[in-house]
Amino acid sequence: MQNEEKYKFGLIGCGRVSENHLSALTSGNIPSELVAVCDLDPEKAKSKGEKYHIPWYTDFHKMMEEHPEIQIVNVAVPTGYHAPVVIDLAQYGKHIVTEKPMALKVSDCDAMIAACKKNNCRLFVIKQNRFNPAVVAARKALEEGRFGKMVMGTVRVRWRRYQKYYEQDNWHGTWLLDGGVMSQQASHHLDLLQWFMGPIKQMFCKTATRLLNIEVEDTALATFEFESGALGAFEATVATRPEDLEGSLSLLGEKGSVIIGGHAVNKILYWKFDEERPEDEQIKTQFSQDVPNVYGRGHTPFLADVIEAIRLGRPALMEAEEGRKDIAILTALYESAACGGKWVVPGCPIEKSRLGKG
C-alpha cells in the first residue's frame, strides 16, 4: 500500500452518507487521497473540510477548476440531483462514483451514461452490500453451482425511521428528490435479489404509507417471477417499531439454502448444502461481520474495487449499466403499485415523472 499510487478524490455532497465516503477514503486501507469537498450548504462543507483538513467549496465547478489533480469524484447529493450533477460534472473528464439509487428515472440514467461516455470517463454506482463478506460468500457458492436450480429468493428490510428523519432535510420523503422505502432504504436489497436470482420476467407490487407523514411509501410488498421460473418475495418498511429489526436475504435452491441477516445483510444465519465442504463449518464465523449501523462497512471495499478497475482497465462490479437495472426495476414496481398491483415487466412500464409517480 505504501508504494501504491494514490488516486485523488473529491466529494460533492456533505450530508448524512458522506461520512461513509470520507472515512473510507482517509482510512489508509485503500490507495486514495482526499483532496477537497463541496456542498451547497457552507456549514456542511466547512465542517467536513475542517475535520479532514482539506479545502472546502460551495460550487463544485470552482472545486474542479482549482483542483485539476482530482481523478475521481464521489457524488453524494440528494437522489433527485444525481443526474444533473453527474451530467454537468462529466465535462471535466474525471471518473465519477454516485450514491444509490443512480437516479429517479431510467431516462436520466441513460443521459448520465451518455454524458460520461462522451467525456471518456467511467461512472460507478454505490451498492456496498455486494461487498459484505457474507454476500461475497453466498455469491461464490452461487457461481460454483452449489444451489443448483434456484427456487426462491426473499429480501426483507424492516427498519425504523421516525418523522424527524424526514424533517431534517426538505427533500427527504418527496417524489421529486427522494422516493420512498423502495428506492432509498431497500434499493440495496432489490439489487441483491436481482443479482442472485437473475433477470425478472414480471412483478407486481403494493405500497402504503402507514405511520409517516411523507409523500412517498413507508411500506411495500412485491412478488417477482424470474426468467428462470424461480419466484421472489420483497418486503420493505421503515415503519418498524420500536427499533430496526433486519435487512436480510434468503436464497433457496434445490441443493441448498442460505440466509443472510443482521441489520445490513451482514451475518450468515443459515448455510447448508447437500454436498458439504470442510470450510462450511467455519463459514458463519469467518464471513459474518458486525456493523456500526445499517450502512454497513462496504464503502471501503467498494471504492477499492473502483480504484483497481480504473488502474487495471477492467470492469468494476457496479458500473453504471448495473445501476440502471435497479432503476428499471424500481420504475416497474412503482408503476405496478400506481395501477393497483398489476403485473408489469421491467423496462416496459410507462415511465412517469418520478419513479412511476406523476
- From residue 249, alpha-carbon distances to 59, 61, 161, 266, 287 in Å are 40, 41, 21, 10, 15
Q: What is the DSSP string of 270-307?
A: EEEESS--GGGGGHHHHH----SSTTTT-HHHHHHHHH
**pLDDT at 3 (0 to 100):** 64
| The amino acid at 323 | G
Q: Which among 247, 327, 302 has a CA at the least distance from the CA of 79?
A: 327
- State mean pLDDT over 244-251: 97
**pLDDT at 354 (0 to 100):** 43
**pLDDT at 215 (0 to 100):** 97
pLDDT value at 351 more than 60 = no
Residue 340 burial (CB < 10 Å; 0-12/13-18/19+)?
exposed
* pLDDT digit string, tens, across residues 78-131: 999 999 999 999 999 999 999 999 999 999 999 999 999 999 999 999 999 999
Q: For residue 350, name the pLDDT band (cuts at 50, 70, 90).
A: very low
- From residue 304, alpha-carbon distances to 32, 121, 308, 327 in Å are 9, 18, 6, 24
Dihedrals φ, ψ of 342, to 5°?
Answer: -75, 155
In 137-194 the beta strands, taken as DSSP E runs, fall at 150-158
Q: Do residues 260 and 249 touch, judged by C-beta distance below 8 A?
A: yes
pLDDT value at 349 more than 70 = no
- From residue 140, alpha-carbon distances to 114, 289, 300, 349 in Å are 32, 17, 20, 33
* pLDDT digit string, tens, across residues 288-318: 999 877 778 899 999 999 999 999 999 999 9
> What percentage of the chain has pLDDT greater than the value 90?
92
* pLDDT digit string, tens, across residues 196-225: 999 999 999 999 999 999 999 999 999 999
Q: Which among 285, 172, 316 has a CA at the least distance from the CA of 238?
A: 172
| The amino acid at 195 | W
- How far does CA 8 lie from the centroid of its chain? 23
**pLDDT at 294 (0 to 100):** 75
What distance in Å separates the CA atoms of residue 356 and residue 354, rounded to the nearest whole number?
6
Q: For residue 240, name the pLDDT band (cuts at 50, 70, 90).
A: very high
Domains in the chain with CATH codes: 7-128+300-319 (3.40.50.720), 131-288+325-338 (3.30.360.10)
- Cell 427527504 appears where? 172
pLDDT value at 257 more than 70 = yes
- State mean pLDDT over 235-261: 98
- State mean pLDDT over 68-85: 98
**pLDDT at 223 (0 to 100):** 98
**pLDDT at 164 (0 to 100):** 96
**pLDDT at 356 (0 to 100):** 41
| The amino acid at 43 | E
Torsion of CA 196, 154, 176, 337, to 10 degrees: 120
